[in-house]
């Protein structure tokens, strides 16, 4: 039985990870300040004898040190969430992305140097590629950010600092770290409140409201089901070859946002229409979007025996079912 710490474990991805870790027999401590997550996401496992939930800020040095002292594996998912929130609160985004990572890594490096067996997973993001114009993003590609006057890039840049820090701890002190760059993870429990497109489209279609597509809707994304992503994350943490490395995690099947809207309308059988909105109206006048975002999954597939089980239609179905099922 492993002692595992999941920061941000009450969030959308963190709650699915927590369920999977409990199911395989780990003892899991979740720390979450419920800023964007909620312990309601853990309702299915709330009374599990191997689950401990702590409401608190992992940016609190005492709490971070205490929780890092007991864990063998740390999955660090607590972070600022969503492009819309980043546009509104860039200062908090930068601080919340960097400071807790530093605290956890400091504590784990100390333990590693004194001979303890510890391992760290950093949840990073495809945003670190910035506006790289390549058709597919490979882990060794350059990071291409826009100007510091455009707040969006603070998200990717601050997660890139986290990656640099984790890799430095690996190189300098031998701390086993694994970095996963998530590409548009979706699924049950994801909230539309922070700008994420799929839950927003499903909510609108179910309510018969127009689905709001930004710009011309021809920007593309690859959507991955959270369960597929969690399988990849947990396998990477067990793979010795993954240590000290960065991995793209997600789907490599692109879809345009307007096609996504049409597929959600078809799957719900809704009479809702599609309406268009400029980026300036949706976010702010400085907003820059990423037109195309597709991961190169070669490294992931060479390291673990991973294959996604959910295609886009199955993902849309799963999100609709979760929103329409009776409590
Ligand atoms: N988007 C949209 N309507 C919405 C929310 C998002 O058209 O209600 C667009 C958004 O501008 C972006 C894409 O959908 O081009 C994906 O947005 P999301 O915030 O889900 O993810 P990210 O931008 O981080 O890829």
Cα 93 → chain centroid: 14
Q: Which atom of ligand 1 lies at the shortest distance from residue 289's CA?
A: 15
Q: What is the CATH number of the domain that holds 89?
A: 3.40.50.720
| 184 within ligand 1 shell (Cβ under 6 A) | yes
Rounded-to-integer distance, Cα 259 and Cα 123, Å = 28
Rounded-to-integer distance, Cα 83 and Cα 173, Å = 34
Helix or strand holding residue 150 (H, E): none
Q: Which residues of the chain have pLDDT under 50?
A: none
In a domain, 38, yes or no: yes
In a domain, 28, yes or no: yes
Q: What is residue 288's predicted lDDT score, i.e. its pLDDT? A: 87
| 213 within ligand 1 shell (Cβ under 6 A) | yes
Rounded-to-integer distance, Cα 123 and Cα 75, Å = 8
In a domain, 269, yes or no: no
In a domain, 60, yes or no: yes
Query: 32-57, pLDDT tens digit by residue?
Result: 999 999 999 999 999 999 999 999 99
In a domain, 281, yes or no: no
Q: What is residue 326's predicted lDDT score, i.e. its pLDDT? A: 57
In a domain, 198, yes or no: no
| Residues in CB range of 285: below 8 A, 6 or more apart | none
- DSSP assignment string, 170-200: HHHH---EEEEEE-SEE-TT--STT--HHHH
In a domain, 90, yes or no: yes
> Sign of the C-alpha dihedral, residues 277, 283, 285, 291?
negative
The closest of 240, 241, 109 to 171, measured between CA atoms, is 109
The closest of 74, 21, 82, 72 to 51, measured between CA atoms, is 21
* Total number of domains constituting the chain: 1
Q: What is residue 310's predicted lDDT score, i.e. its pLDDT? A: 98
* Ligand 1 centroid, distance to 57 Cα (angstroms): 28
* Ligand 1 centroid, distance to 212 Cα (angstroms): 10
* Ligand 1 centroid, distance to 70 Cα (angstroms): 38
Q: What is residue 286's predicted lDDT score, i.e. its pLDDT? A: 81
Angle value at C-alpha 160, between 156 and 162, nearest 5 degrees: 120
Whether the CB-CB separation of 192 and 323 falls below 8 Å is answered with no
Which value, in Å, is the radius of gyration of the alpha carbons in the chain? 19
Atom 8 in ligand 1: which residue has the minimum CA distance? 197
Helix or strand holding residue 4 (H, E): strand 3-7
Q: What is residue 139's predicted lDDT score, i.e. its pLDDT? A: 98
> Sign of the C-alpha dihedral, residues 300, 301, 302, 304?
positive
Rounded alpha-carbon distances, angstroms, from residue 4 to 57, 193, 305 = 17, 29, 23
In a domain, 45, yes or no: yes
| 292 within ligand 1 shell (Cβ under 6 A) | no
Q: Which two three-digit tokens encode residue 148?
A: 């510091």
Domain residues for the domain of 149 are 3-185+225-250+295-308
Helix or strand holding residue 212 (H, E): strand 211-214
DSSP character for 216?
Answer: T
Distance between first and last Cα of the chain:
32
Rounded-to-integer distance, Cα 178 and Cα 242, Å = 6
Rounded-to-integer distance, Cα 129 and Cα 290, Å = 10
| 186 within ligand 1 shell (Cβ under 6 A) | no
| 221 within ligand 1 shell (Cβ under 6 A) | yes
């Amino acid at each position: 039985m492993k002692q595992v710490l999941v920061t941000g474990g009450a969030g959308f991805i963190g709650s699915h990870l927590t369920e999977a870790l409990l199911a395989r027999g780990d003892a899991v401590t979740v720390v979450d300040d419920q800023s964007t997550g909620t312990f309601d996401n853990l309702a299915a496992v709330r009374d599990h004898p191997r689950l401990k939930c702590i409401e608190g800020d992992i940016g609190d040095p005492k709490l971070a040190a205490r929780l890092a002292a007991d864990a063998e594996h740390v999955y660090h998912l607590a972070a600022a969430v969503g492009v819309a929130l980043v546009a509104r609160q860039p200062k908090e985004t930068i601080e919340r992305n960097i400071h807790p990572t530093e605290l956890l890594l400091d504590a784990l490096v100390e333990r590693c140097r004194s001979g303890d067996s510890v391992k760290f997973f950093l949840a990073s993001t495809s945003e670190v590629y910035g506006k790289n114009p390549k058709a597919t993003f490979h882990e060794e590609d350059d990071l291409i950010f826009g100007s510091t006057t455009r707040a969006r890039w603070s998200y990717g840049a601050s997660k890139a600092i986290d990656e640099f820090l984790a890799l430095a701890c690996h190189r300098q002190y031998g701390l086993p770290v694994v970095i996963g760059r998530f590409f548009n993870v979706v699924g049950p429990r994801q909230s539309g409140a922070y700008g994420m497109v799929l839950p927003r489209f499903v909510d609108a279609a179910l309510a018969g409201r127009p689905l709001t597509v930004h710009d011309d809707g021809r920007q593309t994304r690859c959507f991955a089901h959270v369960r597929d992503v969690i399988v990849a994350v947990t396998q990477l943490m067990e793979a010795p070859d993954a240590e000290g490395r960065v991995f793209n995690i997600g789907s490599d099947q692109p879809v345009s946002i307007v096609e996504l809207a049409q597929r959600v309308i078809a799957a719900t059988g809704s009479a809702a229409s599609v309406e268009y909105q400029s980026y300036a109206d949706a976010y702010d006048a400085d907003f820059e979007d990423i037109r195309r975002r597709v991961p190169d999954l070669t490294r992931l597939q060479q390291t673990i025996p991973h294959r996604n089980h959910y295609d886009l239609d199955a993902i849309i179905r799963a999100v609709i079912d979760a929103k329409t099922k009776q409590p």
